[in-house]
Amino acid sequence: MLLRSFIPVIKAVIFDMDGVLVDSESQHYRAHKAAIREQGGQLTKEFYSAHGVSRDPLLLYADVFPHRKNDKEFLEGIYRRKLQIYQELQHKEGILPVKPAVALAKYFYDKHMPLAVGTAVHRGEAINNLKTLGIDQYFQAIVTFDDVGVKRKPAPDIYLKVSELLNIPSRNCLVIEDSENGVKAALGAGMHTVVVPHEFTQTHNFSGAIIARSFEEIGEAFGKESGI
């Protein structure tokens, strides 16, 4: 299926955040790795790519520490430490934009296309990231983990909530994702889905989605001139 084939029915575009709008996957990986190492475990980039990206962190930790997979307090303690380390990395290195994706969001915004963010992180982090990048005003809806309880991706709840808030049917929404679980969530919500893989997700299974080489390719399909 070609990206251009369903463009006529698209009435809203939904962006994932980490790995799409914000260049944060490396920071997430290093924070997970450090928090796990403090508990005597190891996390490789390959294992994180396969089992950690856009997944409930407690499930990742349970995979790393199978003998303590039922120790919720232990797993949640690692997660709290991961968040602390991640925030330290953001403070030190900054909140970094994926510039072509941000340019694409601005293009859609200028064209008056309804936009939203659907992310599995907590609301405070999402709002802070978008405000720091100066793009929070682009989005009519921002749906986060806090809005759907424990139903993280690959459950479709985040994207179904976006459809509800925008009051636009799922079949008229395009989701821009970067991970297998994100694609599953978007497709599960009945939305058209295009994925732009990166170094942590290039080996994922993106069945059912259109794979784009770049964010520029998505923009060009919608009529955006290259480099603008």
Report the pLDDT averaged over residues 125-134: 96
- pLDDT band per the 50, 70, 90 thresholds, residue 227: low
pLDDT tens for each residue of 92-107: 999 999 999 999 999 9
pLDDT of residue 200: 97
pLDDT tens for each residue of 136-179: 999 999 999 999 977 889 999 999 999 999 999 999 999 999 99
Left, alpha or beta for 209 (phi > 0: left; psi -120 to 50: alpha)?
Answer: beta
Report the pLDDT averaged over residues 55-79: 97
Whether residue 112 has pLDDT greater than 70 = yes
pLDDT of residue 11: 98
**Angle, CA of 208, 182 and 105, to the nearest 5°:** 100
Higher pLDDT, 4 or 52: 52
Proportion of the chain above pLDDT 90, given as a percent: 93
pLDDT of residue 151: 81
- Whole-angstrom distance, CA of residue 214 vs CA of residue 109: 19
- Whole-angstrom distance, CA of residue 123 vs CA of residue 131: 12
pLDDT of residue 1: 56
**Cβ contacts of residue 34 below 8 Å, gap of 6+?**
82, 85
Whether residue 43 has pLDDT greater than 90 = yes
pLDDT of residue 50: 95
**Domains in the chain, start-ordered, CATH in brackets?**
3-23+97-221 (3.40.50.1000), 25-93 (1.10.150)
